[in-house]
């Protein structure tokens, strides 16, 4: 069985070999950028472990009772914990219930698996409740924490998990996968590299962008932002339109654009930027801004991106960012 996505093959092989040799730990931390398929691989691992007669290659049989329950999402020995809405907190009680879940024996006599996604959505109380489970795991327990912001987890949690780092695919692999996924066609072939670049090389994030209206939506937001930077737009209105994008994505884009402006300002060739389609606007803009203030913006954006997936007010964050751009343009 191959991994959930082509860029995960090595990691999948390594996990499978640990399963076969009995070296899979009780707690795994799947860490890496958003849109790399971490949660999907966690679910795939759970299916492989819970199937009653997987093949030698770790492929779930698809026929046993466990496989039936897994496909229906009702296997009693697998619990997937997620916030009710993206960006919301996972209630502490829900996390504390993990200990009770592991305290009962698995109903099918095999492993009991809990996936928490994203792990940074646990608050401190919830996370503390998990510590005991991590310190004294029951023999059949497997906890998989999924995170794109490992720095937001308690160090005591992080240090008790075996960390698996998910990396961005090679551009060719990413673009090819994107083309296959979005369907063939001249239009997809043209936009796939830009979508992937815009998603910071994370293919699933690129698909999401495409579904959200992709490059057209981006064009509208670029124009609003440019008006603010040039002192012609209302920063609060601009922040309000950016809100639909979600804070993590918004700071990613702003980060990528600011980096491009810094590159241009530092004398990089005009085609050496990530957002090549925005080159004409960026060349003009770079002339008007100074390097020091660009680094100031980058610092502010980086600071927000550290917290973007956690519990911060996205509207206030975006307003703060847009007001800074408006202010420095004067
Ligand atoms: Zn099966």
Q: What is the pLDDT of residue 323?
A: 95
- Phi, psi of 146, rounded to the nearest 5 degrees: -115, 130
Q: What is the pLDDT of residue 245?
A: 86
What CATH number does the domain containing 229 carry? 1.20.272.10
Residues 158 and 49 in one domain: yes
* 181 is a domain residue: no
If you measure from the C-alpha of residue 3 to the centroid of ligand 1, how many angstroms do you get, rounded to a whole number?
Answer: 17
If you measure from the C-alpha of residue 167 to the centroid of ligand 1, how many angstroms do you get, rounded to a whole number?
Answer: 30
Whole domain around residue 64: which residue ranges? 6-165
If you measure from the C-alpha of residue 107 to the centroid of ligand 1, how many angstroms do you get, rounded to a whole number?
Answer: 15
Q: In what order do the strands lie in the sheet with 112-116?
A: 78-81, 112-116, 141-147, 27-31, 162-165
Q: What is the pLDDT of residue 198?
A: 80
Q: What is the pLDDT of residue 157?
A: 95
Q: What is the pLDDT of residue 189?
A: 80
CB 34 within 8 A of CB 203: no
- Phi, psi of 159, rounded to the nearest 5 degrees: -70, -15
Residues 48 and 149 in one domain: yes
Give the end of a domain, one of 165, 198, 221. Answer: 165
Give the CA distances from residue 125 to residues 79, 91, 128, 129, 278, in Å, rounded to whole numbers and listed in that order. Answer: 20, 9, 5, 6, 45
Give the end of a domain, one of 110, 135, 165. Answer: 165
If you measure from the C-alpha of residue 112 to the centroid of ligand 1, how many angstroms do you get, rounded to a whole number?
Answer: 15
Residues 244 and 324 in one domain: yes
Cβ-count burial of 240 within 10 angstroms (0-12 exposed, 13-18 middle, 19+ buried)?
A: middle
Q: What is the pLDDT of residue 149?
A: 87
If you measure from the C-alpha of residue 175 to the centroid of ligand 1, how many angstroms do you get, rounded to a whole number?
Answer: 33
Tens of pLDDT, residues 255-296: 989 999 999 999 888 778 888 888 899 999 998 899 999 999
If you measure from the C-alpha of residue 65 to the centroid of ligand 1, how many angstroms do you get, rounded to a whole number?
Answer: 7
Q: Which helix (H) or strand (E) element contains residue 235?
A: helix 235-242
If you measure from the C-alpha of residue 113 to the centroid of ligand 1, how many angstroms do you get, rounded to a whole number?
Answer: 16
Domain count, the chain: 2
If you measure from the C-alpha of residue 53 to the centroid of ligand 1, how many angstroms do you get, rounded to a whole number?
Answer: 5
If you measure from the C-alpha of residue 280 to the centroid of ligand 1, how many angstroms do you get, rounded to a whole number?
Answer: 56
* 189 is a domain residue: no
Q: What is the pLDDT of residue 127?
A: 93
* 99 is a domain residue: yes
Give the integer Cα–Cα distance in Å for 281 and 201: 23
If you measure from the C-alpha of residue 44 to the centroid of ligand 1, how many angstroms do you get, rounded to a whole number?
Answer: 12
User: Which residues of the chain register pLDDT less than 70?
Assistant: 1, 309-310, 328-330
* 309 is a domain residue: yes
Residues 219 and 71 in one domain: no
Residues 128 and 29 in one domain: yes
Q: What is the pLDDT of residue 58?
A: 82
Query: Between β-strands 112-116 and 141-147, what pairing exists: parallel, antiparallel or unpaired?
Result: parallel
If you measure from the C-alpha of residue 120 to the centroid of ligand 1, how many angstroms do you get, rounded to a whole number?
Answer: 32
* 39 is a domain residue: yes
If you measure from the C-alpha of residue 293 to the centroid of ligand 1, how many angstroms do you get, rounded to a whole number?
Answer: 58
Tens of pLDDT, residues 155-189: 999 999 999 999 999 999 999 999 999 987 777 88
Strand partners of residue 144: 28, 115
Give the end of a domain, one of 110, 134, 165. Answer: 165
* 122 is a domain residue: yes
If you measure from the C-alpha of residue 162 to the centroid of ligand 1, how many angstroms do you get, rounded to a whole number?
Answer: 27
If you measure from the C-alpha of residue 69 to the centroid of ligand 1, how many angstroms do you get, rounded to a whole number?
Answer: 9
Q: What is the pLDDT of residue 171?
A: 92
If you measure from the C-alpha of residue 79 to the centroid of ligand 1, how many angstroms do you get, rounded to a whole number?
Answer: 18
If you measure from the C-alpha of residue 39 to the centroid of ligand 1, how many angstroms do you get, rounded to a whole number?
Answer: 20
Q: Categorise residue 116: left if φ over 0, alpha if ψ from -120 to 50, beta otherwise.
A: beta
């Amino acid at each position: 069985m191959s991994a959930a996505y082509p860029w995960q093959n090595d990691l999948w092989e390594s996990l499978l070999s640990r399963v076969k040799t009995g070296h899979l730990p009780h707690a795994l931390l799947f860490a890496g950028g958003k849109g790399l398929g971490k949660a999907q691989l966690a679910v795939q691992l759970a299916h492989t472990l819970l199937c009653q007669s997987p093949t030698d290659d770790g492929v779930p049989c698809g026929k046993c009772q466990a496989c039936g329950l897994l496909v229906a999402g009702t296997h009693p020995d697998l619990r997937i914990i997620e916030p009710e809405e993206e960006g919301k907190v996972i209630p502490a009680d829900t996390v504390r219930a993990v200990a009770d879940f592991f305290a009962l024996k698995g109903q099918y006599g095999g492993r009991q698996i809990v996936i928490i996604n994203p792990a940074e959505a646990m608050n401190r109380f919830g996370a503390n409740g998990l510590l005991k489970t991590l310190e004294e795991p029951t023999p059949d327990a497997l906890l998989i924490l999924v995170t794109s912001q490992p720095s937001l987890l308690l160090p005591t949690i992080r240090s008790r998990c075996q960390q698996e780092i998910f990396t961005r695919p090679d551009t060719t692999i990413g673009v090819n996968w994107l083309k296959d996924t979005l369907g063939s066609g001249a239009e997809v072939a043209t936009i796939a590299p830009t979508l992937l670049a815009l998603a910071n090389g994370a293919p699933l994030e690129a698909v999401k962008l495409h579904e959200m209206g992709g490059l057209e939506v981006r064009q509208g937001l670029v124009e609003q932002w440019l008006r603010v930077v040039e002192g012609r737009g209302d920063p609060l209105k601009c922040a309000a339109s950016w809100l639909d994008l979600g804070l993590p994505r918004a700071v990613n884009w702003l980060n990528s654009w600011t980096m491009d402006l810094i590159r241009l300002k530092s004398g990089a060739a005009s085609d050496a930027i990530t957002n090549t389609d925005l080159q004409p606007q960026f060349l003009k803009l770079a002339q008007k801004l100074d390097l020091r203030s660009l680094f100031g913006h980058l610092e502010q954006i980086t600071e927000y991106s550290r917290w973007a997936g956690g519990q911060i007010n996205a509207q206030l964050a975006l307003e703060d960012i847009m007001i800074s751009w408006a202010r420095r343009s004067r």
